[in-house]
Structure 1
Amino acid sequence: MDNEKKLKKPVASFIVLTNIIFLPLFCLVGVIKMLGFPEWVFHVMLCISAWSSTFAFAVLFKKIYPGQSFIQFVKDKFKNKLKVSVILTVIMIQVFIFLMVMFFVATNSEADTIFKISSWGMLIYFFLKNLLSGPLGEEIGWRGFALMELQKKHSPLKASIIIGFWWGMWHLPIWFTTGYVGIDLIKYMLFFMFAILATTMIMTTFYNLNQNLIIPITIHQFFNFFIGIINGNLVDLIMYNAIVYLAVAVLIIIINPKKIFYGKEAPINAKQYMI
């Protein structure tokens, strides 16, 4: 019998510690930028700061799941076989959203070209850098742990809203480094939060349908990647993404595939991750 005391509020503890770890790391990123360190140092430190949620979960793991293995927990999040129907649907949704955003940009933007990146080499580099500095670092904690933990007490829809809100608020320090002020900053923050909430609902739907962490990682990756390669005003890009992602999320909630959001218990993987 493991005598280690379990945390009474594991998700709240995770969110608090994630922010405590992230803030000094993000400040260090800013210092590195201001002092003129090489660009690669800046990007490495930025990538490390993005893993703050994984660091927080690793630190708290033994108090959340006494006697269990963190490594085995992570492995089991990727062990379920990917369903072709689910992964193809996720990709098609992301491509549809990308095409809609490009349409809005092409219609309303005065930029000479729609894309920021013009070579395949830079495109591959940006894709891999984005993957390391966002989806891989964030999804183990936010979706792999926090979302699934909340679904033990709340409906998937409510759990999505809770996690989406706090995941969005975790980005708060980043919002104030965009250079926006006044109404532009307010618009950026509001559209960002709507986009984050909608994206979280989509993640929850397909993650519950196919409990493999590759699903939310893929959605997260395409969200960031597509915004990063389109040439346009960032506030407008976030606004377009918020509109289309929210429309997709509302449609999914109405359809409620396999009653994944409400109507039955959330599909929780109750497997224990014993050493």
Structure 2
Amino acid sequence: MKELLKSKPILSFLLLTFGITFSFWFLPIIVLLPKDIGFAAILIGGCGPLIAGFLNTYVISGEKIKINSKPIFITVFLIAALVLFLRLYFVNNGLGDVNGLMPSLNEVSFLSYILFGILFFILAINLSNATNSKLKENYLKSSFFEKRKSKWYIIGFSLFIILNISSYFIGSLLGIKTTDFIFKTDPFWLIGFFSNLLFFGGVEEFGWRGFLQKELQKKYNPLIGSLIISFFWSLWFLPLHYNGIYSTNGFMDLLPRFIWLIPITIVFTWLYNKSSYSILAVILLHAMLNNVNSAIGSSGLVYTIIGIVVAIFFIFDDKMWKKKPYHLIYENKETD
């Protein structure tokens, strides 16, 4: 197994990611689980890309897995626990229940708390290694705030806000269907945002961008890498179309995702490369992608068109058809 991880990092990453995620995400379908246990399984399954990238990096580095920074570990563990506690506390008290699959706090059993503790441990040990100088190609180091990358954090946070607002006004001017609101006051929005940051999307970026994009760009140009990631990223969501998180029509409802994730992945690739490989920037982007619609209206059709145009612009802006010299992947400066 170690030899596979070392010699074929891309293949081993994909096998681990799909093995971990599918095991946990298909579990509530195969076995009738209580709501709280099933939800905990879904959260842990979402860490598949993170765990795969983490294990690959440790094996490639020849190191033993450890908590590298106890202060970071404890801080991340406690923050994750607080965010999930608040999210569950406000289920049906201002926040939704994810199609009836998310338990309220009073529905959480002792076993679920143990599973949530495992989830917090995974997140915490991962980030505790951001300062581990012994890890080769340690992409985790870009998980924390760097002042010189501030503009990229702002872009990551605001890009989908701009797309939503633009699509709403263009749709309104052209008489194309829009949401019935442009801005919606939501006092619980921040809880939803941080939940997406830590559990429902942001956590994936350690694997998809942090590890896989890095490895793909050793062999291919960013555009080819984006197409490869978009395919596997889309396929990765398959169980969620059977376990009730998304639609219940299975694979047929998954098919559109293979199309619209192509421009989305290109946008993520552009930001990750332009920000000098900042995981924090793409985590912010992912959290906003998942959460912006709850507060800012849009026009679905116009949004799609604008998104495609933006993706094409980014392809030319970063010359994505050109392979990046490998030494630039970890050079300590922003790309041109």
Give TM-score, length-normalised by structure 2.
0.63
Contact 1:160–1:197 under 8 Å retained in 2: yes
Q: Find the residue that maps to 2:329 and give its secondary structure.
A: coil
2:269 maps to what in 1? 204
Contact 1:195–1:241 under 8 Å retained in 2: no
Question: Could you say if the C-alpha distance between residues 191 and 179 of structure 1 is closer, same or farther in structure 2, counting changes exceeding 3 Å?
Answer: closer
Aligned CA-pair RMSD: 3.5
1:143 maps to what in 2? 209
Structure 1 Cα separation of the partners of residues 185 and 213 of structure 2: 37
Letter in 2 for 1:145: F
Contact 1:199–1:249 under 8 Å retained in 2: yes
Structure 2 residue aligned with 1:53, among 49, 56, 76? Answer: 49
Question: May I ask how many residue pairs the two structures share in their alignment?
Answer: 253
Bigger relative contact order (CA 8 A; separation at least 6): 1
Q: Find the residue that maps to 1:119 and give its secondary structure.
A: coil
- Residues 1-275 of structure 1 mapped to structure 2, 5 A cutoff: 5=3, 7-30=6-29, 35-38=33-36, 43-67=39-63, 71=129, 72=132, 73=138, 75-78=140-143, 81-103=147-169, 104=171, 107-108=176-177, 113-114=180-181, 119-121=186-188, 123-176=189-242, 177=244, 178-179=246-247, 181=249, 186=252, 188-210=253-275, 211-227=277-293, 237=300, 241-254=303-316, 256-257=317-318, 259=319, 261-262=321-322, 265=325, 267-269=328-330
Give the CA deviation at 1:241. 4.9
Contact 2:201–2:287 under 8 Å retained in 1: yes
Give the CA deviation at 1:63. 3.1
Structure 1 Cα separation of the partners of residues 263 and 16 of structure 2: 25
Give the CA deviation at 1:99. 1.5
Give the CA deviation at 1:196. 1.8
> Is there any run of 5+ residues in structure 2 with no aligned partner, and where?
66-125, 133-137
Give TM-score, length-normalised by structure 1.
0.75
Contact 2:47–2:203 under 8 Å retained in 1: yes
Give the CA deviation at 1:229. 5.2
> Is there any run of 5+ residues in structure 1 with no aligned partner, and where?
none
Letter in 2 for 1:140: F
Structure 1 Cα separation of the partners of residues 194 and 249 of structure 2: 31
Contact 1:53–1:142 under 8 Å retained in 2: yes
Contact 2:140–2:279 under 8 Å retained in 1: no
Letter in 2 for 1:196: L
